[in-house]
Structure 1
Amino acid sequence: MSYADDVFIKMCQDILENGTSTEGEKVRPVWEDGTPAYTIKKFGVVNRYDLRKEFPAMTLRRTALKSAMDEILWIWQKKSNNIHDLHSHIWDSWADESGSIGKAYGYQLGVKHQYKEGMMDQVDRVIYDLKNNPFSRRIMTNIYVHQDLHEMNLYPCAYSMTFNVTQTPGNDKLTLNAILNQRSQDILAANNWNVCQYALLLMMMAQVCDMEAGELLHVVADCHIYDRHIPLIKELIQRKPYPAPVVKLNPEVKDFYQFTTDDLIVENYETWPQIKNIPIAV
């Protein structure tokens, strides 16, 4: 089976069996009908994926990998906060009449900061350090900027990436690893979507810095299943997983800003049918 499926099934079982409920508490999210959106949650869920072994795409239901890559490029490459630069409708509920989601996500990654080497934004700083000082323990991004929170239509969920380089004995190439930190995650709607997105980001960064993609560590502070998602999750985790797909990037691309979704190569991705019309709490 796909390792990502195994992780997902065990995580969901743990939350359903050992999680705590927010029912009756004061919660921010609501369903479309205005009903409070309660959850069963676990604090501090940590999952680890080794991209050298397989790509962490679920097969219990299909993760739209090209759309996931398109969103990560929207944030990290285009550094955009406008949904008109995105080829999906994921962010429509949080956009204003002009399409802006406020000073969130891509906007923060595009803000330039002064370093001793000159002015750089966070993405360019990561690439600079990976190429020039790969064993630095300071290669990270952070888009949870308190002074701008009041101008964000949604506070960042996935807010920080920490990159760390290791040297594997006998391997000429360095290995690039990363930690993705999330304050909150809707397991059904977003878990594997985020895992695949940041696995692809790790692969892209490794390729343009002439490294090998290694481990992605995914840390979620509030890992939850919404009340209306419980029967969907229970049905999903009863499915029998398929083997993981083969996922590669066009090896010709050496500049992070040249990647497009056409450079994503997906082979042998067999999945169960998608769960449609998942209710989303906003």
Structure 2
Amino acid sequence: MSLPAAIYFAVFWIYPFLSAGYYSFTDYDFVKSPEWTGLDNYRFLFSDPDFTHSLRVTLLFALGTIIPTIVLALALAVPLARPGRTSTVLRTMVFIPAIVPLVAASFLWQGIYAPNGLANKMLGWIGIDGHSWLNDPDWAMRALIVMVIWKNLGLYMLLLIAGLQTLPQNVYEAAALDGSRPLRTFFQVTLPMMRKPLAFVVVIASVAAMQSFVPAFLLTRGGGPGVATLTLPMYVYRNAFGYTDVGLASAASVILFVILLLLSVAQFRVFARGER
């Protein structure tokens, strides 16, 4: 009964992964047969300023989206985890962006960031001049980060609410009997018991941020202006389908996989050590 799932996993996950690993050691352009070049692609990557720049941009994008999103999600999850009609309505409102297709959300925010879009109109209401958000190298990345925070906040909030609702209530009753204030209860009771849910959310948020492609592709026309939003997935796409250098793109994707693997293992170890 597991055979269909195993076939799907082998065809659409294992085979592409192994193929990318093989092509990363070759010179391949979709037309001619792959030609073995050894480590040449990897040597070129670490001497390519666009690649090192894409690594910095990806790290900046990941930090700019992961930390604020999880902090806001936890701040919303704690009060909205309580049962009640108001909490249910507010949870639904915050979660709505998470079910909006990413392409549709990107086009929505493209309109918001337009010269006559909602963002500039709201600034005009308080007497501030509008801005060319997506055409300014200093603001394009910040605009992407705001859009991604809006998109992911509801999902991470819901995951944290699920974790909060599994916590034993007798611990909170004991803290209340000891006269613990809400802020102290949060930092000394709630936060330590939320290590596993937080570890899960941090890991999936990190993977999603490091693999983010659609917002940069649609909002900034493929990493623009210039290379201001050239993330590592955009670098892979540009080399594979823009320059038809599949070998170089495969090498970059292998490096991305290694970074994600090491990052995930390190995060789980940090949270496990803290729990012990």
Q: Say yes or no: TM over 0.5.
A: no
For normalisation by structure 1, the TM-score amounts to 0.30
Name which structure has the greater RCO, CA cutoff 8 Å, separation 6+.
Answer: 2
Which has the larger share of helix?
Answer: 2
Give the structure-2-normalised TM-score.
0.30
Higher strand fraction (1 or 2): 1
Larger Rg: 2
